[in-house]
Amino acid sequence: MKSKEMMGMKKMRFLFEVLVPALLTGMLASMAEGRTHYYDFVLKETNFTRLCSTKSMTTVNDSFPGPVIRIHRGDLVYVNVHNQDDFGVTIHWHGVKQTRNPWSDGPDHITQCRIQPGTNFTYKVIFGEDQEGTLWWHAHSDWTRATVHGAIVILPTQGTTYPFPKPDGEHLLVLASWFAGDFNEEYEEYLSNQTGTSFDDIAFTINGEPGDLVACGGETTHRWLVDYGKTYLLRIVNVVVNSELFFAISEHNLTIVGTDGTYTKPRVTSYIMIAPGQTMDVLITTNQSLGHYYMAARQFVTFDPSITGFNNMTATAILQYRGNYPPPDVPSFPINLPLFHDLDSGLGFLSLLRSLATPEHPVNVPLNITTRMFVTASINKVNYTFEGTEVSHFAASLNNITFMDPTSSILLAYYRHTSGVYTTDFPDYPPSYYNFTGDTYPPPMSVLATKVKVLNYNESVEIVVQWTNLLGQGADHPLHLHGYTFYVVGMGRGNFNNETDPKGYNLVDPPERNTITVPKNGWVALRFLANNPGTYECFLRDHFQGCRNLFINHSQFFFTGVWLWHCHFDRHLIWGMDTAFIVKNGETPETSILPPPAYMPSCAVQSLIRLEDFQDSVELFNEINVN
């Protein structure tokens, strides 16, 4: 009897200690093992006709917007980019965490050099295990992203479902910019314009079409056919170059259920405000009279319109019910779409959002902060000498550092032990404190430099970003962090108060984003855990022990990866509103950067760049000054 009991216990032990864990491991492994998808992106010039004229522009696979990457959570994607255009280009997978893999992140001068004309480069796109919803991809060199972009749809893992009733259908809307005439010429004119007032998006488009309200737009206006009495999941992406947008659908509420590849608590609204770089997943119930309803996108203008012009053309598409009914002469227009300068509607919308925060979709807000930064985001000026003349130029800055792109990629510079490419002294605080949101403060000049911030693995980071009104030129700044999502724990108007404002932080269910607007006349507080190493030093070694030894002996070399942080208004980006985070490796192979791919585009050959941008000019001027 005793031995039988022992046998029984042994069986139970075998069951619980060996078999069940093995089964669980197998189940988890099969859940984790997604499919692998392969895409070919051919980049070349194609003719498109909008606003009554035809022009040639760069697109991927001849489409505007570009192809959709459609996968399930946990899948892996390879994209082979064939550059058949005549300038160098890189592609960024916006919002994709690229876990341990900054090699495929894409920003020009930061993690790679450009894919040369006539060559190709394969990106390995690694999604975070928790990423589900809508993201997107775009060119990350010059302003090529104006026409080189597309959506990424991440469906629930097979066998799982949405955290809301399964929609009857879904639809994708890409909100973009249209530049009339020759994009290069307009861009150059903008860069050479010392006041920065003349250039902006000429029109906005919805799925490539500006819609009925612009000249020559009507015949090709995008139409979305729906059935009465259904619920649809609408995925919205703002890929616009320089503008935030309001969006609404006539007589239909929007229920927000996700942003930036994460789920949110459902929020019903009559409009959304969406910044460049952001995505939004919303549910629509088609319960109105059979008819045609405008979906409309209008610029949200936060700069001073008396100084900087803006685009007053509203892009439209049509939500059209199927059925037998006399079509209306004109679709109805969304009366709830806020007006251009409605700052209250812009900021008010941001405070709506909350993370889902369920066991299936948990939040992990860092509570014990180990690195604090207070960063001012400003439009100010830099002085430099050009051909013996002192020149003053508009610039943008973070903590008064106007970031200069290095000539090599920072990641590869470290790989090659190239010194002098960047420094690691990006300041945690601004050089001076003043009434940041005041109107009259004289602008402190910014400093041109390539300064980055180094973080230890698993550092708990809080960054408060303070908007400033230097020069009276401030607008919202949609700041995007590569390689991570962050929690938006606080946001407010005026100057940040470090005693009272943290008391109002939401540490329970703050929204999780990869791009957040620093509001005009206000501030925003972000938190994230630095657990995505962008660092790798010893990839020439065969095994990790070699790395550890190298780390112990040469710890000063042990950070090479880079996650860019920048304003997603491209005009502020080229003016220098960016920096980068270097995140060191953890102590195990699983918390360390992946080896680089066998081939990276060369930095030795200087790319044929599309345009000489402001930063290149400044570098040139500096060289002239130094020599």
Q: Which residues bind Cu ion (CB under 5 A)?
A: 477, 567, 569, 572
Question: Among residues 301 and 567, whose Cβ is nearest to Cu ion?
Answer: 567
Question: Among residues 101 and 299, whose Cβ is nearest to Cu ion?
Answer: 299
Question: Among residues 66 and 478, whose Cβ is nearest to Cu ion?
Answer: 478
State the distance between the two ends of the chain, measured CA to CA, in whole angstroms: 94
Q: Nearest approach, Cβ of 305 to Cu ion (angstroms)? A: 17
Question: Among residues 190 and 569, whose Cβ is nearest to Cu ion?
Answer: 569
Q: Nearest approach, Cβ of 578 to Cu ion (angstroms)? A: 10
Q: Which residues of 372-400 are buried (b: 16+ CB within 10 A; e: fewer)?
A: ebbbbbbbbbbebeeeeeeeebbbbbbbb
Q: Nearest approach, Cβ of 475 to Cu ion (angstroms)? A: 6
Q: At 214, give phi and psi (nearest 5°).
A: -115, 160
Q: Nearest approach, Cβ of 377 to Cu ion (angstroms)? A: 7
Question: Among residues 514 and 585, whose Cβ is nearest to Cu ion?
Answer: 514
Would you state the structure tokens that stand for residue 88, as one six-digit string? 């160098």
- Cα–Cα distance between 222 and 295 in angstroms, integer? 10
Question: Among residues 87 and 190, whose Cβ is nearest to Cu ion?
Answer: 190
Q: Nearest approach, Cβ of 575 to Cu ion (angstroms)? A: 8
Question: Among residues 64 and 569, whose Cβ is nearest to Cu ion?
Answer: 569
CA-to-CA separations, 528 to 264, 370, 377, 457, 600, in angstroms, rounded:
18, 11, 19, 12, 29
Question: Among residues 472 and 589, whose Cβ is nearest to Cu ion?
Answer: 472
CA-to-CA separations, 509 to 273, 363, 430, 493, 549, in angstroms, rounded:
20, 7, 30, 21, 41
Q: Nearest approach, Cβ of 604 to Cu ion (angstroms)? A: 33
Can you count the helices (H) and strands (E) in the chain?
Answer: 8, 32
CB-CB contact of 347 with 516 (8 Å): no
CA-to-CA separations, 353 to 128, 161, 258, 262, 283, in angstroms, rounded:
22, 22, 9, 12, 15
Would you state the structure tokens that stand for residue 87, as one six-digit string? 């300038």
Question: Among residues 519 and 534, whose Cβ is nearest to Cu ion?
Answer: 519
Cis peptide before 67 (omega within 30 of 0): no
Q: Nearest approach, Cβ of 469 to Cu ion (angstroms)? A: 13
Q: Nearest approach, Cβ of 242 to Cu ion (angstroms)? A: 9
| Residue 264 CB neighbours (<10 A) | 24
Helix (H, G, I), strand (E, B) or coil at 191: helix
Q: Nearest approach, Cβ of 482 to Cu ion (angstroms)? A: 16
| Residue 456 CB neighbours (<10 A) | 14
CB-CB contact of 428 with 461 (8 Å): no
